[in-house]
């Protein structure tokens, strides 16, 4: 986050900087504590109104994947993997009702998990 920036505005900005994608930020979905790295990772549900994206200054490449195409072993951060696992489980169980304004899952990431 930048000074004076909300977490949701920071998520939208980071998405643009990392993936060249403009998104409409929805509710907070997951909050993962990473105490050994002195970090907290927040993930929001979001919509990408247009399929436009590109590698940004901090990314070598970006791509969109269907669930069965995700390269699980290549994900760099356990917080991303955990959030995706929660998301697909919630989607399959019908828990991602658009009428719900907040969906928050949380856990601590252990120092033995790479970030």
Reading the chain (115 residues) residue by residue, the pLDDT tens digits are 899 999 999 999 999 999 999 999 999 999 999 998 999 999 999 999 999 999 978 788 899 999 999 999 999 899 999 999 999 999 998 888 766 555 677 667 776 665 4
CA distance 86 to 105: 8
Residue 11 is classified by DSSP as: H
Looking at the domain assignment, is residue 2 inside a domain? no
Q: Please indicate, yes or no, if residue 114 is contained in any of the structural domains.
A: no
pTM of the model: 0.83
The CA distance from 24 to 9, in Å, is 10
* Residue 1 within any structural domain of the chain: no
Q: For residue 41, what are the domain limits?
A: 7-108
As for how many domains the chain has, the answer is: 1
DSSP per position, 56-100: -TT-S------GGG--GGG-S-HHHHHHHHHHHHHHHTT---TT-
Between β-strands 24-34 and 39-47, what pairing exists: parallel, antiparallel or unpaired?
A: antiparallel
> How many angstroms separate the CA atoms of 104 and 86, rounded?
10
For residue 58, give the CATH number of its domain.
Answer: 3.90.79.10
Q: Is residue 75 part of a domain?
A: yes
Residue 42, classed as helix, strand or coil, is: strand
């Amino acid at each position: 986050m930048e000074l004076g920036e909300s977490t949701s505005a920071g998520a939208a900005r980071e998405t643009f900087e990392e993936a060249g994608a403009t998104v409409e930020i929805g509710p907070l979905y997951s909050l993962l504590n990473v105490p050994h790295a002195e970090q907290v990772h927040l993930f929001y549900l979001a919509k990408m109104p247009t399929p436009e994206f590109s590698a940004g200054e901090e990314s070598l490449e970006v791509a969109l994947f269907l669930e069965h195409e995700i390269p699980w072993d290549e994900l760099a951060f356990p917080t991303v993997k955990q959030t995706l696992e929660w998301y697909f489980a919630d989607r399959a169980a019908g828990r991602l009702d658009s009428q719900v304004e907040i969906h928050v899952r949380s856990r601590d990431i252990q120092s033995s998990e790479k970030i």
